[in-house]
């Protein structure tokens, strides 16, 4: 079975609030930029299930950066770098093909839904 590099885990804060968090499977360290976005902004705009769904879509962005353009997405965004046009074209193909999974092919509607959450995080690198 294929496993992605990241997963969304629910963390319960001392206030009792559940905060979905994107973490790396290898060490469970949170993705810095995605966590910053979730904590500072998105958690106040939606319910935890919606935030978790958005973070799963962002996990695909992190996976794409690691496997396709071979960079640390957090480092890239914190330097205020944005993907080039050619890189964005490869992201579209990545989402359309179901990510790095050799067995998945996303319908256009699925890829579009995943892509809709992705631009949000690119503006919160700081």
Q: Where are the domains of the chain?
A: 6-122
Which of 85 and 115 is assigned the larger pLDDT?
Answer: 85
Q: What is the pLDDT of residue 106?
A: 53
Rounded Cα–Cα distance for residues 42 and 98 (Å)? 25
Q: Measured between alpha carbons, how far is residue 107 from residues 34, 47, 54, 58, 110 in Å?
A: 25, 26, 18, 18, 5
Which of 7 and 124 is assigned the larger pLDDT?
Answer: 7
Which of 57 and 125 is assigned the larger pLDDT?
Answer: 57
**What residues have CB less than 8 Å from 76, skipping those under 6 apart?**
65, 83
pLDDT higher than threshold 50 for residue 21: yes
Q: List, for residues 78-109, the tens digit of each pLDDT value.
A: 999 888 889 988 988 888 887 655 445 455 55
- Specify whether the CB–CB gap between 3 and 24 falls below 8 A: no
- Give the count of beta carbons closer than 10 Å to the beta carbon of residue 80: 9
Give the DSSP letter string of 59-126. HHHHHHHHHTS-S-HHHHHHTT----HHHHHHHHHHHHTTTT-TT----HHHHHHHHHHHHHHHT---
Q: List, for residues 22-51, the tens digit of each pLDDT value.
A: 999 999 999 999 999 999 988 899 999 999
């Amino acid at each position: 079975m294929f496993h992605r590099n990241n997963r969304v885990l629910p963390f319960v804060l001392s206030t009792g609030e559940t905060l979905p968090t994107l973490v790396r499977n290898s060490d469970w360290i949170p993705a810095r930029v995605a966590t910053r976005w979730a904590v500072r902004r998105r958690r106040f705009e939606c319910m935890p299930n919606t935030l978790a769904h958005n973070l799963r879509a962002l996990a695909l962005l992190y996976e794409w950066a690691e496997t396709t353009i071979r960079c640390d997405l957090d480092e890239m965004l914190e330097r205020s770098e944005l993907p080039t046009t050619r890189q964005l074209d490869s992201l579209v193909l990545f989402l359309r093909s179901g990510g790095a999974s050799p067995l998945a092919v996303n319908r256009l509607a699925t890829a579009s839904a995943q892509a809709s959450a992705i631009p949000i995080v690119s503006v919160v690198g700081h």
